[in-house]
Amino acid sequence: MDYLAGLNPSQRSAVEQIKGPVMIVAGAGSGKTRVITYRVAHLIQKGVDPFNILVLTFTNKAAKEMRERIMSVVGQEAKNIWMGTFHSVFARILRVEAELIGYPKNFTIYDTDDTKSLLRAILKEMNLDDKLYNVNHVYGRISSAKNNLISPQEYNKNEALMAEDISNGRGQLGQIYLTYAQRCYRAGAMDFDDLLFKTNVLLNKFPDILHKYQHQFKYLMVDEYQDTNFSQYLIVKRLAAVNENICVVGDDAQSIYAFRGANIQNILNFQKDYPDVKVFKLEQNYRSTKTIVNAANSVIEKNKNQLEKNVFSENEDGDKIKVKRAFSDNEEGKIVAETIVEDQMLHALKYKDFAILYRTNAQSRAMEEALRKMNVPYKIYGGTSFYQRKEIKDLIAYFRLTFNPNDEEALKRVINYPRRGIGDTTLDKIMVTADQHQYRLWDVVVNAQMFLDGRSSGAVGNFGLMIQSFQAMAKSSSAFDTAMHIAQHSGILKDLYEDKSVEGLARYENIQELLNGIKEFSEREDIEEKGLDVFMQDIALLTNDDNDKDPNADTVSLMTIHSSKGLEFRNVFIVGLEENLFPSQLALNSRSELEEERRLFYVAVTRAEKKLHLSYATSRYRWGTLNNCEPSRFLDELDPSYLALDFQERRASAAGSFQGERVAWKQKEADTFSKPKPRVMKTTSILPKAHVPTEGFAPSDTSSLQVGMEVEHERFGFGKVVSLEGGKGDIKATIFFKELGQKQLLLKFAKLRIV
């Protein structure tokens, strides 16, 4: 296979440069994944041992796709590449080296729910106001500290951080962080941020370990480098220090994760870190039409802090971008749903060709309601993933306890599930006893007769014996056999089986699906270690994109713009383009924040392949109050030559920009406050009034349809057939509708009644 033949000159140059520091600036839709995979394949073809290659990604899905592509070029050797997310790769290293920093090799990985549960318990013990010390805020503060490599001890010595906490009325944050770290250590657990934080500790404290991995990973590649935080940056820099065969791939224009610690300066300053770097720019967009690419460029060029590049497309010009104005968010949803139905019918598209993108999750409500009313199937990305469902987390907590009985969050979760007579009072006594004697909770459980009285002593002791029996079985049985034994003997399967409600049946089926997944894992031939503990590590490190529903399902996709990164759709709707919503009101305090919002808009625009629709509402409910809305500045920043004619005319009538509408909006706001009066909700939809079908409407057999016949469409109303074209099964009818004008419909989808 001549994998180089299909590359353009820029892509090929980037693939063939295998020595020294390399930066690949990959514009949207420029074939970035192909370049990364072929570059790794090229390294192997040139004699580099796959065991010496480290490829870091941000999702397991990306890593899996890359490995499969590399395998198609170099064969089974691709299995030996160290490839995965930052968290999965360094969790793998920590499994080997953890004892050096005082952790067991079978340490538990806490997910966000585990972390927040532990933090709530600490806040309760410290008698702190959980409204002032909001658990999400506390979690974010600790996460930020770890991503900046600030330990609990350093945090409490840092006068600036402590002063900031005190001024915000949260002077105990440092102590919470310290207690949280101690509890995790006691439980033999690391959270997601620890996987990177502890890796930095390991590489910093043990020069021999650093030396070991520097010489193992002779070639490093980092995908989405613009999304790396300080902790990730430092690990990569340390590992690459000896050989400097480091290649980073990214696009500063798509850096949209500052809120979770990503630092755009990592990619902007890469040339300063490596002065002899070779820079390759992938500027040809293969995804989108010229109109969409040029429109995106016209907005992102307003950012000052960026790498210079000229993204272009050689695809067709394509349709101009349509901008729709709605009176309310509900009407905006109606316009979007009607447009999807119309496009789907006129162009014989599938529902999965459409995506609706929004700035905040709350905006999905109006879209969902409108789609449901028109019977349009949809799915929401970013909902509850399979592994976050209660019944799944319950069974996995038993698995976790089996391999790490010191995992206190898992123990608290299932010690009385299914019910076995261990109430909150008994659990509180176990926790108090453990604190008094500086024991772990498990120590108290297995010695229950020493610390507890009567019935509770027996119940807790029996629970401990059950977990110990699971531990004994796990040592000699397969992952599936162990999992099935635990599901049965813990009582979970029986408890769910006896719940005959619809929800109970679904939960029981979910457990069966988990067990099916473990069976499949046990039979995989591409991995050597197939223990239940290895399976648990895999699922603990799943990223949000790895749990999507069936990708082949014919449904409209709804998601936040952050969730859409890396995806592409034929037709895209970006909704809610209003000031203080997009750009967000929270991101208008500095130029850097505004520029990130503009990059977010750029990401949204470049998800579209063929058609792009933008919309905004002039009023929207927030916190139960109807607010007037001002159009987003990003609409003003789009080059008008790429917008549909009707919108350009509306722009021109407003003195060449949105300023006229903004002035009107300000005046309307003033009038509202000076002369309070009830608002009349009038529809200002640009779509015609919906047709009311004839009573008893039923589609006719259109196999004998002829030019000149009168027909009725359920939504478009009455019309006359102007022409018919195409072969049997794919006949297109051009029909002139009285209310809408001329439209072209595929007869097999049109559902027409011959009058």
Give the strand order in the sheet containing 752-754.
Answer: 741-746, 732-737, 717-725, 710-713, 752-754
User: How far is 696 from 272, CA to CA, in rounded Å?
Assistant: 73
Helices (runs of H) and strands (runs of E) counted in the chain: 33, 23
The values of phi and psi at residue 386, to 5°, are -55, -45
Q: Which residues are catalytic?
A: 32-33, 223-224, 254, 607
Give Cα separations from 439 to 22, 176, 259, 719 (angstroms).
51, 20, 38, 81
Backbone angles phi, psi at 733, to 5 degrees: -110, 130
List, in order, residues 6 or more apart from 680 with CB less than 8 Å away. none
Q: Determine the 3-state secondary structure of 718 from DSSP.
A: strand
In angstroms, the CA 556 to CA 569 distance is 10
Provide the CA 614 distance to its chain's centre, in angstroms.
Answer: 22
CA-CA distance, 521 to 529, in Å (whole number)?
10
Residue 626 to residue 622: CA distance in whole angstroms: 6
Distance CA 43, CA 193 (A): 31
Contact criterion met (CB below 8 Å) for 752 and 711: yes
In whole angstroms, what separates CA 383 from the centre of its chain?
10
**Which amino acid is residue 28, in one-letter code?**
A
Cβ pair 340, 376 in contact under 8 A: yes
For the chain, give percent helix, strand, coil, nearest 5: 50, 15, 30
3-state secondary structure 570-629: EEEEECCCECEECCEHHHCCCHHHHHHHHHHHHHHHCCEEEEEEEEEECEEEECCEEEEC
3-state secondary structure 102-154: CCCCCCEEECHHHHHHHHHHHHHHCCCCCCCCCHHHHHHHHHHHHHCCCCHHH
C-alpha–C-alpha distance, residues 682 and 712, integer Å = 28
Measured CA to CA, the distance from residue 547 to residue 569 in angstroms comes to 19
H helices of 206-289, in order, are: 207-216, 230-239, 265-268, 270-273
φ and ψ at residue 613, rounded to 5 degrees: -120, 135
